[in-house]
């Protein structure tokens, strides 16, 4: 199909089209960072969109790769930023889903070595999974002589702003054993901060470990399907009647495509319309999965469709 330019995808939606689209959906999944909030600021109109969707009887879930908080902390953040009545069971975070995976899928018998932070520790603790991570080493200890725990059966890597060389080295030693599981909360390579700064993401730390061990991590978060399977196993969710709204093409949109769910790119976060269009126009077949079905400037664009007196 050389020369064929796909016109599929990246459809800008006007409010009547949004109404029609939402008419056909019983479930809306939202990414968080860059979609409903940025840092500590709600995207203008986002709380109202969520309330109205729920009023119209839609199931709303929040699917986030951000593994820095346990779910109860997210519940507080939702409340703090003006979102009413978002319950813990509507929040799927990669830290929570990693704990679920270890407990219910891998059924790990032994300890987990964690490269991560409090969010991950708390979710593991709540799931009853024993773990090691974050302990400081005695002065002068090196990877040649530090004690290694013989009960480690899995390594879980996620965002860790206290990452140091010893943690990386210990994880490598544990992963020498092919029976030791290798999990990553998510593959996000970096995240934007204010003033043009960036912060490395879980994907960056995972890359270090993959290179040093010549192994590939099993990824829990988007774009892997697992977080959708977590939702679908607890609630009756029909992919054909679900919508995924995200801001990152290689994470959220690819996730939606993998799960058979229609996708909306919102432009309040990381990815741009130009990037979406260049994937659409690309000849590489695998890049079609990064193309969103629809595009909105902000999810506040849903408001006119939802506020209208008409029935949905």
CB of 270 to other proteins, least distance (A): 12
Of 64 and 213, nearer to other proteins (C-beta) is 213
CB of 4 to other proteins, least distance (A): 28
Beta bridge partners of 91: 62
CB of 157 to other proteins, least distance (A): 11
CB contact at 8 A, 246 and 253: yes
- The burial of 127, by beta-carbon neighbours within 10 Å (0-12 exposed, 13-18 middle, 19 or more buried), is given as middle
- The burial of 64, by beta-carbon neighbours within 10 Å (0-12 exposed, 13-18 middle, 19 or more buried), is given as buried
Of 144 and 311, nearer to other proteins (C-beta) is 144
CB of 129 to other proteins, least distance (A): 24
In angstroms, rounded to a whole number, what is the distance separating the alpha carbons of residues 280 and 140? 54
Site residues, other proteins (CB under 8 A): 142-144, 148, 160-165, 168-169, 172-173, 176, 189-190, 193-194, 196-201, 203-214
Known catalytic residues are: 31, 33
What count of other Cβ atoms lies within 10 Å of the Cβ of residue 54? 16
In angstroms, rounded to a whole number, what is the distance separating the alpha carbons of residues 251 and 274? 17
Of 39 and 304, nearer to other proteins (C-beta) is 39
In angstroms, rounded to a whole number, what is the distance separating the alpha carbons of residues 156 and 164? 15
CB contact at 8 A, 267 and 296: yes
Of 44 and 148, nearer to other proteins (C-beta) is 148
What length does the chain have?
A: 312
3-state secondary structure of 155: strand
Nearest CA among 37, 100, 56, 5 for reference residue 243: 56
Of 84 and 162, nearer to other proteins (C-beta) is 162
Radius of gyration for the chain, computed over Cα atoms and rounded to the nearest angstrom: 20
CB of 244 to other proteins, least distance (A): 24
Rounded (10°) angle between helices 165-175 and 202-213: 50
């Amino acid at each position: 199909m050389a020369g064929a330019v796909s016109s599929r995808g990246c459809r800008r939606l006007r409010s009547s089209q949004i109404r029609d689209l939402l008419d056909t959906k019983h479930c809306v999944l939202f990414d968080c960072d860059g979609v409903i909030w940025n840092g500590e600021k709600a995207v203008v109109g986002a709380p109202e969109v969520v309330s109205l969707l729920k009023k119209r009887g839609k199931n709303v879930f929040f699917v986030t790769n951000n593994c820095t908080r346990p779910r109860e902390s997210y519940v507080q953040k939702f409340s703090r930023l003006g979102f009413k009545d978002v319950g813990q069971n509507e929040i799927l975070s990669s830290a929570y889903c990693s704990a679920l995976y270890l407990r219910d899928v891998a059924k790990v018998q032994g300890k987990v070595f964690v490269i991560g932070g409090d969010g991950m520790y708390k979710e593991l603790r709540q799931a009853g999974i024993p773990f090691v991570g974050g302990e400081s080493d005695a002065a002068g200890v090196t990877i040649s002589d530090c004690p290694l725990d013989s009960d480690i059966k899995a390594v879980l890597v996620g965002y860790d702003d206290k990452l140091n060389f010893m943690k990386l080295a210990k994880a490598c030693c544990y992963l020498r054993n092919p029976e030791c599981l290798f999990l990553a909360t998510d593959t996000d390579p970096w995240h934007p901060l204010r003033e043009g700064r960036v912060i490395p993401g879980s994907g960056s730390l995972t890359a270090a470990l993959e290179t040093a061990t010549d192994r590939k991590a099993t990824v829990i978060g988007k774009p892997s399907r697992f977080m959708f399977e977590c939702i679908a196993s607890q609630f009756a969710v029909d992919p054909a009647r679900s919508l995924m709204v995200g801001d990152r093409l290689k994470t959220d949109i690819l996730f939606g495509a993998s799960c058979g769910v229609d996708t909306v790119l919102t432009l309040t976060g990381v990815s741009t319309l130009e990037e979406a269009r260049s994937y659409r126009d690309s000849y590489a077949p695998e890049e079609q999965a990064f193309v969103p079905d629809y595009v909105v400037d902000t999810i506040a664009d849903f408001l006119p469709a939802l506020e209208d007196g008409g029935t949905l």
